[in-house]
Amino acid sequence: MPQLLASAPLPLWRHGSARQVGTWGIGMRDLEPVEMTAFVMPEHASSGSWMRAKAVGDGLLAALNSPPVLARIHAANQPGNSSEEIQRAFSAEAERLGFQSEKAGLFQGQSLRPDYFLELGAGEGILLEVERGKTTINNMDLLDFWKCHLCPGANYLFLLVPRRLRQNAEMRPRNEYVTVGRRLGQFFEPGNGTNVRGLCLFGY
């Protein structure tokens, strides 16, 4: 069984609880915090590289839930906006954690680039990808997982997806966080292993 963290329907480690924060530019109101669910293959659950990756994930979660960043994320997660606007909401915080934006040369013989990359050690690293409107409609979550599977220098995927996705004002919100957790969590079931040792899924 994969080692995971949370409560049903998503596996083990889930972080985040409702709280009121001050918002900048959109007034004072209750903002849902970013949540994280982590998945890891059992043979890597106690490895040093996973412990380092998980520590980075915890640091990123804390940064995303800081009041000014959380306010920017909520302001960016509006109908008609793109994932690039979500990225801009926390780009400075990601770089402070050591992530490099669109690092080139990670994929041998291919022109692929991640949104962000962080090296953990020789041949070990994290791809950080941010999705919004095309998360499951265009299967971008699966593309991001495939990219991490192919990348020789990355073993872990950090993926940010919306918990309340609306493409227009009339659309009923879709919880892509739950959907993606169910989809990608299957890769951590026995017999479904890939080169992706662990996944930190963030729901904003």
For residue 70, report the phi and psi dihedrals to the nearest 5 degrees.
-60, -40
What distance in Å separates the CA atoms of residue 37 and residue 79, rounded to the nearest whole number? 25
For 105, residues 6+ apart whose C-beta sits below 8 A from its C-beta are: none
Identify residue 41 by its one-letter amino acid code: M
- At residue 194, the 3 state secondary structure works out as coil
Domain that residue 138 falls in: 3-172+179-203
> 134-171: per-residue pLDDT in tens?
999 999 999 999 999 999 999 999 999 999 888 877 88
Give me the residues paired with residue 202 across strands.
Answer: 36, 160
- Residue 27: which pLDDT band, with cuts at 50, 70 and 90? very low
pLDDT at 118: 96
- Backbone CA torsion sign across 138, 90, 121, 3: negative
Structure tokens at 158: 């950090």
Helices 48-64, 67-76: crossing angle, 10 deg rounding: 80
Q: Are 21 and 186 in contact (CB under 8 A)?
A: no
pLDDT at 46: 95
Give me the residues paired with residue 126 across strands.
Answer: 118, 156
Position 68 pLDDT exceeds 80 = yes
Measured CA distances, 132 to 8, 57, 201 (Å): 23, 19, 13
Based on the structure, what is the number of domains in the chain? 1
- Backbone CA torsion sign across 143, 146, 148, 151: negative
pLDDT at 29: 55
Q: Are 134 and 105 in contact (CB under 8 A)?
A: no
Q: Are 204 and 75 in contact (CB under 8 A)?
A: no
The CATH number for 77's domain is 3.40.91
**Mean pLDDT value across the chain:** 85
